[in-house]
Amino acid sequence: MPHARVTVAALGLERDERKALTDAGLVAGDLAHMAGMDVVAATGEAIAEARANYLVAWAGLIGAGLSRSFAAELLEHGLVRGRADLASASPDDLLVRLFDVSARTQPTYHDNLSRAVYLARTDTPSPERLPLSWWTKRRADRGFDPLLMYWRHLHGDGAALPRPTGARLLLPTLKVSAPIFEGDIDSGDDLVRPLGQNDVVRNAGPLRLLLGHWMWQGGHGAFARLEDLRPGDGVRVDTTWFAVTEVAKTPHPASLDAADADGVVLATPPHRRVGVIGTRDMVEPVERATLRVVVQAAPADGGAVDTEARPVRRIPGAY
């Protein structure tokens, strides 16, 4: 098994836990094949049963080739319960569930999960399948796009992809220029999301609702700095200018009721750490208190708008 002799120090545990495991002569590879109560007994009850069960599951995922933080995230979100659970999982299903709860949106996470599931199922892995690059090339050779798979999961296998319009959205104060796509499908109460990292999608409905990613494909999207817009900032949709009237980071469910029907609403998509936003009945608490932004803009009607670029704010790095 890969990483079988990784020391317990590599797990990043508390000092007392490291000492208890080291004194018991245990390494991460040992934990992966033990029961929680065995760890409790081996450490003289220095580690409680609940914590021991977590460490056993964590070490099992790390032993299947996942990074320490990635393994912890899978456990914390309840996507898998341990190595045995991982062995019976589908990489496709895991990726869909991961994208729903996490900011990890790189296509390569499908490769990570595919390798981990494979390693969890066998004690004699083929050497060529250990490098992550093998899984990436295999995915590329068969033309599999994990991001498109996730989009199809949201909108249905037969849904038409967002259609390019040739128009662009300009937010000059934020130095944003993004292509506009048309979300033609009937997605019910959900929102049609951009497939590309820097695209925005105009959703059908009574409001001109433009949806853009905060984070996608492992990097920041077109609306990563949406909250930095200010009242009076110019928003150009194709050739029409609008002026920002409201920037709401925690919108009330009814906040769009009063939106100008002739105006435009900009929002980040309803998934992962950005929370659920965009329509009246879809506002829910934000995960991890991160971005949740709805911007309203009214027609400029020939009035002055601010178009002078401001210094770019540094935002947290991407997965």
For the chain, the domains span 8-152, 162-299
Give residue-wise pLDDT tens across range 210-255.
999 888 888 889 998 888 899 999 999 999 999 999 887 654 444 5
Check pLDDT > 50 for residue 278.
no
Question: Given this model, what pLDDT does residue 168 score?
Answer: 97
The packing angle between helices 68-76 and 49-63, to 10°, is 130
Give the residue among 204, 101, 221, 214 at the shortest CA–CA distance from 159.
Answer: 204
- Could you give the residue ranges of the DSSP H alpha helices within the chain? 15-23, 28-31, 36-42, 49-63, 68-76, 83-87, 91-101, 108-121, 132-141, 146-155
Within 10 angstroms of residue 193's Cβ, the number of other Cβ atoms is 24
Question: Given this model, what pLDDT does residue 272 score?
Answer: 52
Give the residue among 81, 90, 22, 88 at the shortest CA–CA distance from 57.
Answer: 81
* pLDDT, the chain, mean: 82
Q: Compute the average pLDDT of residues 133-156.
A: 94
Say what the pTM is: 0.81
Determine whether domain 162-299 maps to CATH 2.40.260.10.
Answer: yes
Check pLDDT > 60 for residue 299.
yes
Check pLDDT > 60 for residue 273.
no
Give residue-wise pLDDT tens across range 9-30.
556 677 788 888 888 888 767 7
Answer yes or no: are the C-beta atoms of 268 and 277 closer than 8 Å.
yes
d(CA 206, CA 78): 38
Q: Return phi, psi of residue 114, to 5°.
A: -60, -45
Share of the chain above pLDDT 70, in %: 81
Answer yes or no: are the C-beta atoms of 171 and 162 closer than 8 Å.
no
Within 10 angstroms of residue 318's Cβ, the number of other Cβ atoms is 17
| Most confident residue range from 93-102, 144-153, 266-275 | 144-153
Q: Compute the average pLDDT of residues 53-60.
A: 87
